[in-house]
Amino acid sequence: MRRGFYERFGRDINVKHEMVVEIINNEKDDIELKSLTFDEITEGDKERTQWTERSDLWFKTVNP
């Protein structure tokens, strides 16, 4: 949309500073990030894999 406006009118869209809302994070980021091992990454989400297995079993019973 900005490109079309610029091509049509030859200038950028004006933005009033009073319309811009700055979001400030007041929370402390004291959370330590956990580094994952290769095995943890390759295992994936257990719930997702269980759902996939159930879904595959259901499809096999519906479409033998």
Domain spans, the chain: 36-64
CA distances (Å), origin 34, targets 3, 16, 18, 61 = 42, 42, 40, 41
Question: What was the pLDDT predicted at 35?
Answer: 86
pLDDT given at position 23 = 77
Q: Specify the pLDDT at position 17.
A: 67
* Sequential pLDDT tens for the chain (64 residues): 778 888 888 888 777 767 677 777 766 666 777 888 888 877 777 777 788 888 888 988 887 6
Phi first, then psi: give them for residue 32, nearest 5 degrees: -85, 135
pTM: 0.29
CA distance 53 to 57: 6
pLDDT given for residue 32 in this prediction? 75
Rounded CA-CA distance 14/11 in Å is 9
